Structure 1
Amino acid sequence: MMRGLRAALRISRRTAWRSKGRSALILAMLALPVAVATFALTALATMFAEQHGHYPLGRADALVQGAHGLEGISQDVWGGEIHGARRTDVTPYTRAEVAGLLPGSRLIPVSQQFVRYLAPGGYETGTIRQVDLRDPMSLGTFRLVEGRLPAAPGEAVISAPKLDAQVRPGATLLAGEDRRPLRIVGVALFATTGMWPDVVAFPGSLPESAFELADPGQMTHSWLVDAPRPLSWADVRRLNARGLLVVSRAEVERASAAEPRYDLRFDSSTLPVLPWTGIALLQVVLAAGPAFAVGRRRRAREFALVAAQGGSPAQLRMIALADGLFFGVAGSVAGAAIGIAAVPLAMPGLELWTQRLAGPVTVLWTPVALIAVLGVVAGLLAALAPAIGAGRTDAVAVLSGRRERRRDRAGRPLLGAVLVVAGVAATAVSARYGVHWVAASALLTQLGLVALVPALVAVVGRVAVRFPLPLRFAARDAVRNRGRTVPAVAAVMTTVVVLTAAGITSQTALAQRPMNDRDLPQGPTGALRVTGSDLTPELWDRVRAAVRRELPADVPLVEGRALATKAGLPLGVNLPTPLTRGDLPFRTLDGESGGLLAGDESLLRYVLGREDPRAVAALRAGKAVVLNPAAVHGDRIEVQLVSRDATALSGIVSLSLPAVGVPPTGQGWARAVVAPEVIEKEGYGTVTSVLAVNPADYRTPRATADRIAAAVEAVTSHATVRLESRRGPADDLVVLLVLAVAAAVLVLGMTFVATALAAVEARPDLETMAAVGADPRVRRAVVAGQALVIALLGTTAGVLAGLPPGIAAALVPSRREAWMLVRPDGVPILVRPGETPTLVVPWPLVGLLLVALPLLAALGGALFTGSRLPLPRRRVT
């Protein structure tokens, strides 16, 4: 048995070398899915590998951090503190003291703290790190993508996610309370372990006071250590006793090597993957099937010679199946190698796209091997039907130059019909349980349709009697060569099923009620709002001037102000929670102001959405106007002020204001309004947070809003311009475009491959046409007809088969629970994600699949085919 298999594999290898074009096509069909899956798996494992929270080691031997007074420290390998330490009179270690505990080592300091800094576009709060990136120990903790590294105090690099129109090389940031200047000289990507930095400055750029310990448990000073020898676990425990946490490279590598990279388990969590794997495997098998079928036809004389010399049908089948094994192994190995090799080449681009520094390339060998095995299985399954045909080779007919007589098989229509009915019924039921069950039901339906395709091809051949000659020839050729036609039509059909179902599901999801806060109304219809996060007064003046330039002179500009400290640091405000159902989570749309805005009567009118003399009188009397009367107790409202910066407030501060409640209408756009003078009397300040144009005064045209948005963007990227309008139809252009491109590439690619194989196999018939005087254009018309038959039959069956799973997937109930949305005026609204959606069929995509792509396939077949008919070759006897 093994000797026969080795001989069959040698025959397959030699045959593949002789037919290089067909071999390359089969290898590409089998290797491409394996390469794509391997690349995606390896790239995801590399980008999102488990990362622990310590500062990245780079090329250092260890990371050390701690302070005097920390006792009883017990840590894990990665520097995580397991047991709380007793802290008394905590003082940070100095560099000399740490060096004394690690004799012979070289240290570089690392400091980082959460700091508020002023950028050209406004204030920001983020992590500022101070370390020498030029030191060899820092290599591996960053990648410079633009500019250069800091070389002197006052220079810094910006993290790539923070890059915008104003913050880029050449800009200057002002950090800390004393506004130390940091000039940006480069842009870098950083590892996401620990505190992800916004800015990394050269040592000495900021004073040590900027990195002082806010509390004993927050260690902001660390040292990277270049030790003369690897630090053992005994060294770690020795330093723990002195109040130091240590991350040793040697111990981390040992622990990482001991951790299982991948735990391959087959349990309930594996089940959702199986139907998608089955659909992908079916697609590959059907795509490669025609190439194996044509190969079997071309090797008919070879099979006949083997049969004439005593070869059994089983041996003929083994020779044909050896093709599938040979190409499956070669394609899977090549695909896996290409997928893994492409990861380091693509990683720089992936890092820029994800804006994070990846670790070393991580290959999950067990899943990769499983993917390769599936590729081999796909090759064997694709060669199975041709192998069965090879076992039935009529040696006498082939060696005498006659066509083999085959029984006209119409597949297994009864089995196919049963599977289709069962699949459709399962699809209707599976909508209650989840999209993975829908996929499993769709796979069952597709298997039934594959069994029915031969019967459908036979029907097309019977109704083609009235077609013109090219279409009649194409239809009859398809019936005569079902071994080639059926896999091609089935491959197009399964692709169209997936695309149709995806189109229905995505379009239905887009048409539903928005679940994102940004998609919900933020103001009255027709209002223009400009909101900004922590802008300076100078920037607000420039933004206000930019808005004024685009508006008519008599249009008033409403200004809302948020609470802040006397120094101008914005404060968060917690207002009393409206009455909601206690068993439901809720979210608010309070924005930067926390729901409390300070302003004049124009702001009150904008917020209320109506004229209210009682509310105006209360505002003039120094009272807060609250749109949730239940929050007012004893003519006062209690609010809590929360610091956004560590130095602004110590803890949460309560503030009591005189207040009057007004009945909400569900259309107010804040929860409370108060005069700025009242806030100032309480010892606090206000800062601008929103500018608005009340639609009762002026309805801003869309063109004007676009000009204002461009002008504001030129001033600062921290401000947002929004024109409130009624929610129109979902913008589905991008989704439809992606699906259309995928449909064109997949459907046309499969059709052209099958058509090319059919044209090669139909050469004797074309030679006969040339001999009897057929017009030269007949060849173009015949090839176009073959492409049209394959594409039209596949897309029609695919669209019809894709409707049930698409509808079922769109009707799958959402697993998200109901929740309460608290509008800006405090009115709670119940949101039910599980409501029955309105089905949306993407008719443009359906039209593309049913009409445009078959016509494009026919046109492509005609354009890329020579019109000169080949002359029949004469045989010399």
Structure 2
Amino acid sequence: MNNWIHSWRAAVRIARRDAWRFKGRSFLVLAMIALPILGVSAADLTLRTSELSTEERMARTLGAADARIIDPDYGGVPIFQHPVEETSTPVGDYENKPWPEGRTDVTKSFPAGSTVLTDSTGMGKVRTAHGILQTEIRELKADDPMARGILSLQDGRFPQKADEVAATTHFLESSGLGIGSTVAARGLDREYRIVGSYELPNDLKADQLNALPGTFLGPLGKALDAAGMSSTGTSTTHLLALPRSGGSDGFTWNMVKDANAKGVMVMSRAVALDPPADSDVPMFQQDGWGNYGNSAAADAAALAAAGTVVGLAMLEICLLAGPAFAVGARRSRRQLGLVGANGGDRRHIRAIVLAGGLVIGAVAAVVGTVLGLILAFALQPVLEESFGQRFGAFDVRPLELLGIGLLAVLTGLLAAVVPAVTASRQTVLASLTGRRGVRRSNRVLPLVGLAAVLLGGAIALYGSVVSDQFIIVAGGSALAELGVVAMTPALVGLFGRTGRWLPLSPRLALRDAVRNRGRTAPAVAAVLAAVAGTVAVATYQASDDAQQRAAYEARLPHGAVSVVVTEGGGRDVPAVSDAVQKNLPVDVRVDVNRIVVGKATCEMYGDAEGCGRHEVVIPVANQCPLWVYQPDGSDASDKYTKAERRKLAQDWRCKETPSSAYTESGLVIADAKLLKVLEIDDPAAEKALAEGRVVTFARTMVDAKGKLGIRLITDIDKADAAMAKGQEPPGRIASFDTYQAASGTESYGLAGIVPPAAAKAAGITTVPFGTYFSTDRMPSTEQRQKLDDELSKTGANAELHVEEGFVSKGSIVLLALTVFAGLITIGAAGIATGLAQADAEADLKTLAAVGAPPRVRRTLSGFQCGVVAVMGVLLGSAAGVLPAIGLRLTERRQQMSWYETALDLGGLVDMPHVPIIIPWTTLAALLVAVPLGAALLAAAVTRSRGALARRAAT
């Protein structure tokens, strides 16, 4: 035992001295191992710090209070509630009874002697330096000790008077205001002075104003009600602190259940810190409820995914670091030979090489962990701003960091295993004389790799053609990729046969790569693995992008603009439309109205008192048989067989359904200029509108006589009752002559256009709805910003849409993947080039001795780097396309299965379009730009002249 310890101690000393002696190579390997450790440790620290403890979460929710009392709006009926989450449900079965609703008197749940603090929130449109900003208004006495921790004061103070407010820092940034400025809400003449800024720790991007209770929301609500505008939607909860006398344990779970019996929900600090057993939670005892945590299967899947990522990272590092240890062992072969000449056996030589991996791995663990700590601490403010919430206390978990550090040590040891075994097999004579001997390639490994490729390809093919399981395709593709990695040495040898047609420098580089497969093959395999993953994801992403592009439904022609206002009876439409015309490059403008029934100020769907609605009367002969109302409430499609449902799904009555993308009926009131904006070139339609006829885009709306009927429903309750009985709803029907547009005309969601004169003649009330514009060119970002400012000044709730067409979100992903693969490729090729230069220094000196010009050294380095990059990229591209195609084929089978099932059930769905797109741009960048860039970079950083060497002593 002591001998083993002494031999390893000597081996570590020799390895440490050797690492310090060759600092460049040691730093290269250390960086390769330390960088992943840095990333993993920084990610671990960031994740743990971002996870709030229960105490921190309660401090942000309850402040210093014991509980928050919440009205669930169930009208005071008893409830079940979750002990920790804000979830509740009324007690009892309400399947055939009205769902309970209404306010609850929460004061009856306040324990005697408790201190209560009201917390109310609502929404309001606040005037700012730029216009109007939709803002949350919170009435809470924030400087009360009970509220400490809910709002975090940044500057100034919290309000202490009725005409003072504090604002979040994000509100001040968005509004252009500051401390000392005044704000006023739309509809309220009263102004408030901003006296401080604060932030919400859980929502740094919130636009919120804080005021004293009763000073903002109450007056604003009264002003909005008087103006007939929508209310603030105020909600109120109560913070509660129990009396401290008598050794109070806080708001216990029994107290929470007592409050639940009174219809009140309670968020308790004591319960959150010490949750009750599931058996003591009434909610969990009900059917359909349970304390659902992470299942064992989900945990196993997450653990498997994490293990896979860690395993791939270690494999990548070993592939890159292994050749460095191999070259180091060859450079130290005389030293290792002396060890053997002085009585050392093979295990001592293995120990010395392995100790090199141990030393560098240990140093990499320390360096990576320390840098990870610094990086996580430095990036925390940036990440908090990015995620929009403050993290908890900086959480360092020594055991986790120790485990990550041990991973670095293990990686260093694994990377040195093969070089250690190779060095121990070399004879003492060969080590002392510097001869490498005759080395034969392993003939078994390529055969194993070929078998893995064939088996993996067969599994992936089975998964994509026969099975619907993605995991089968992924597993088969991974097996095939590992097979390609195993075949890499043999494939490198095949690449060497192309050297006969190359000039001198690339031929020397290629032959050197083939001759030294021990360092070339792992580097090529590392590039292969990185490129294969990138190509697989890029191919899948490009295919999914094409699928989304095909499924995209434009709301308007490209470059067209629409703005609609559905509130206030359209009184703000003229101002809004003028603002759009003023700021955008408008070509054609057409004002559009909508139909209202009842009061002229009715909102879009007539849900206010005194408002009705309208609908298009679909002739019985045009109704889809699958959707006909059944008096017994059953589904009409149940009467048909699967074959009949499939046939009816292709019936024009079921396929050409009227759209209601804009108004409740899909009809708008406009003239022929709307056809120009929608780019509908139909002179007959223009003539029909001029003659007072309705232009329709769905055949189902028109009866056999060419008439369209619009039912005007004044009493919604009676209409709903009649429809429930299968009867026609009561209401006057206005009839119009129509012109049916050609089948397939793109109407962008409109069901029809009613001429203003025809609507007036039929006695239909209309109000402004919005405006459509065609533009000379696509509006610029500056124009959009100016328009947004103008619209905010109008104070209208306008919906603006500029049709930009399909905007791909995957382009950024593809770019990031290409850059990532490029960096890995350049890094791996650069490592291989550096090792090649160190390993082939004698050859370079021989070239200089025989008269080769200085540029040969630089050119040779560039081609050595380019050769590795080209081989890795070619093999990786071929290996990466397979899994992507397999996954897309599997997805196509799944979607076709869902499509067939939907047809059997009578659903009207489009046939799925699942294309397979090869990202040629990404492949071209990988195949051409990356190897070329790697070669030029290697040539640029290589010195043309090497140092002269004296003759070695014999």
The structural deviation recorded for 1:868 is 1.7
* Structure 1: gaps spanning 5 or more residues: 643-653, 694-698, 821-827
Q: 1:522 to 1:143 in 2, by over 3 A?
A: farther
- Contact 1:70-1:90 within 8 A present in 2 as well: yes
- Residues in 2 aligned to 1:846 and 1:485: alpha-carbon distance in whole angstroms: 23
- Residues 50-92 of structure 1, C-alpha deviations (whole Å, 9 max, x = no match): 9999893364142332689969777554375767589999545
**RMSD across aligned positions (CA):** 5.5
- Residues 144-198 of structure 1, C-alpha deviations (whole Å, 9 max, x = no match): 78998666545556668888866765887655875765667787653559x9965
- Residues in 2 aligned to 1:17 and 1:257: alpha-carbon distance in whole angstroms: 59
- Residues in 2 aligned to 1:322 and 1:73: alpha-carbon distance in whole angstroms: 66
Q: Pick one of 265, 269, 272 that aligns with 1:249.
A: 269
Q: 2:238 maps to what in 1?
A: 222
- Residues in 2 aligned to 1:328 and 1:261: alpha-carbon distance in whole angstroms: 38
- Residues in 2 aligned to 1:528 and 1:628: alpha-carbon distance in whole angstroms: 29
- Residues in 1 aligned to 2:142 and 2:185: alpha-carbon distance in whole angstroms: 19
Q: 1:391 to 1:186 in 2, by over 3 A?
A: farther
- Residues in 2 aligned to 1:637 and 1:253: alpha-carbon distance in whole angstroms: 58
- Contact 1:180-1:206 within 8 A present in 2 as well: no
Q: 1:824 maps to what in 2?
A: none
1:66-465 matches, within 5 Å, as 77-78=83-84, 80=86, 84=90, 90-91=104-105, 93=107, 101-102=113-114, 108-113=117-122, 115-117=123-125, 127-134=136-143, 138=147, 140-142=149-151, 153-154=162-163, 156=165, 175=185, 178=188, 181=191, 190=200, 198-204=207-213, 205-208=215-218, 220-223=236-239, 225=241, 232=249, 237-238=254-255, 241=258, 246-255=266-275, 267=300, 278-328=311-361, 331-332=364-365, 335=368, 338-339=371-372, 342-359=375-392, 375-399=408-432, 401-409=433-441, 412-432=445-465, 433=468, 436-465=471-500
1:815-834 matches, within 5 Å, as 830-833=909-912
- Structure 2 residue 921 is matched with structure 1 residue 841: no
Normalising by structure 1, what TM-score?
0.77
- Contact 2:124-2:137 within 8 A present in 1 as well: no
- Residues in 2 aligned to 1:479 and 1:712: alpha-carbon distance in whole angstroms: 64
* Structure 2: gaps spanning 5 or more residues: 92-99, 223-229, 279-290, 607-612, 617-622, 628-634, 638-648, 718-728, 901-906
Amino acid corresponding to residue 878 of structure 2 in structure 1: L
- Residues in 2 aligned to 1:569 and 1:186: alpha-carbon distance in whole angstroms: 41
Q: 2:67 maps to what in 1?
A: 63
- Structure 2 residue 835 is matched with structure 1 residue 757: yes
- Residues 678-726 of structure 1, C-alpha deviations (whole Å, 9 max, x = no match): 9999999987553103xxxxx633256878645523423776655558x
Amino acid corresponding to residue 854 of structure 1 in structure 2: P
Q: 1:648 maps to what in 2?
A: none
- Contact 1:709-1:720 within 8 A present in 2 as well: no
Amino acid corresponding to residue 223 of structure 1 in structure 2: L
Q: 1:649 maps to what in 2?
A: none
Q: 2:932 maps to what in 1?
A: 855
- Contact 1:112-1:127 within 8 A present in 2 as well: yes
Q: 1:790 maps to what in 2?
A: 868
- Contact 1:116-1:123 within 8 A present in 2 as well: no
Tell me the matched-pair count. 836
- Contact 2:595-2:614 within 8 A present in 1 as well: no
Q: Pick one of 711, 734, 751 that aligns with 1:636.
A: 711
- Contact 1:61-1:250 within 8 A present in 2 as well: no
The structural deviation recorded for 1:17 is 4.2
The structural deviation recorded for 1:561 is 4.8
- Contact 2:66-2:250 within 8 A present in 1 as well: no
- Residues in 2 aligned to 1:387 and 1:74: alpha-carbon distance in whole angstroms: 66
1:483-498 matches, within 5 Å, as 483-498=518-533
The structural deviation recorded for 1:871 is 0.5
- Residues in 2 aligned to 1:635 and 1:564: alpha-carbon distance in whole angstroms: 11
Which one is further off, 406-415 or 140-149? 140-149
Amino acid corresponding to residue 350 of structure 1 in structure 2: L
- Contact 1:562-1:570 within 8 A present in 2 as well: no
Q: 1:33 maps to what in 2?
A: 36
Q: 1:149 to 1:378 in 2, by over 3 A?
A: farther
Partner SS, residue 286 of structure 1:
helix
1:438-837 matches, within 5 Å, as 438-465=473-500, 467-514=502-549, 519-523=552-556, 527-531=560-564, 540-549=573-582, 555-561=588-594, 570-572=603-605, 590=660, 593-594=663-664, 599-601=669-671, 611=685, 629=701, 636=711, 658-660=733-735, 667-668=746-747, 669-671=749-751, 688-693=768-773, 700-703=775-778, 709=784, 711-716=786-791, 722=801, 724=803, 733-813=811-891, 830-833=909-912, 835-837=913-915
Partner SS, residue 521 of structure 1:
coil
Q: 1:696 maps to what in 2?
A: none
Partner SS, residue 455 of structure 2:
helix
The structural deviation recorded for 1:280 is 3.7
The structural deviation recorded for 1:748 is 1.2
Report sequence identity in percent. 29
Q: 1:83 to 1:454 in 2, by over 3 A?
A: closer
- Residues 128-148 of structure 1, C-alpha deviations (whole Å, 9 max, x = no match): 322244556555445678998
- Residues in 1 aligned to 2:730 and 2:400: alpha-carbon distance in whole angstroms: 58
- Contact 2:41-2:369 within 8 A present in 1 as well: yes
Q: 1:487 to 1:196 in 2, by over 3 A?
A: closer
Amino acid corresponding to residue 457 of structure 1 in structure 2: V
- Residues in 2 aligned to 1:804 and 1:291: alpha-carbon distance in whole angstroms: 31
Partner SS, residue 121 of structure 2:
strand
Q: Pick one of 942, 947, 950 that aligns with 1:865.
A: 942
- Contact 1:128-1:200 within 8 A present in 2 as well: yes
- Residues in 1 aligned to 2:716 and 2:404: alpha-carbon distance in whole angstroms: 56
Amino acid corresponding to residue 338 of structure 2 in structure 1: L
- Contact 2:205-2:388 within 8 A present in 1 as well: no
- Residues in 1 aligned to 2:488 and 2:209: alpha-carbon distance in whole angstroms: 63
- Contact 2:29-2:360 within 8 A present in 1 as well: yes
- Residues 255-295 of structure 1, C-alpha deviations (whole Å, 9 max, x = no match): 49999998876746655666555544432321222222222
The structural deviation recorded for 1:819 is 8.3
- Contact 1:431-1:809 within 8 A present in 2 as well: yes
- Residues in 1 aligned to 2:584 and 2:102: alpha-carbon distance in whole angstroms: 62
- Residues 635-672 of structure 1, C-alpha deviations (whole Å, 9 max, x = no match): 62659989xxxxxxxxxxx9956344866856443347
Q: 1:678 to 1:381 in 2, by over 3 A?
A: farther
Q: 2:286 maps to what in 1?
A: none
- Contact 2:76-2:102 within 8 A present in 1 as well: yes
Normalising by structure 2, what TM-score?
0.72
- Residues 802-861 of structure 1, C-alpha deviations (whole Å, 9 max, x = no match): 2323333343416668689xxxxxxx973344x331x32222222222222222222112
- Residues in 2 aligned to 1:403 and 1:640: alpha-carbon distance in whole angstroms: 101
- Residues in 2 aligned to 1:288 and 1:562: alpha-carbon distance in whole angstroms: 73
The structural deviation recorded for 1:473 is 2.9
Amino acid corresponding to residue 763 of structure 1 in structure 2: E
- Residues in 2 aligned to 1:261 and 1:303: alpha-carbon distance in whole angstroms: 57
- Residues in 2 aligned to 1:588 and 1:5: alpha-carbon distance in whole angstroms: 82
Q: 1:57 to 1:741 in 2, by over 3 A?
A: same
The structural deviation recorded for 1:389 is 0.9
The structural deviation recorded for 1:762 is 2.1
The structural deviation recorded for 1:500 is 2.0
Q: 1:466 to 1:316 in 2, by over 3 A?
A: same
Partner SS, residue 831 of structure 1:
coil
Q: 1:10 to 1:276 in 2, by over 3 A?
A: same
Q: 2:610 maps to what in 1?
A: none
Q: 1:418 to 1:691 in 2, by over 3 A?
A: same
Amino acid corresponding to residue 408 of structure 1 in structure 2: R
Partner SS, residue 384 of structure 1:
helix
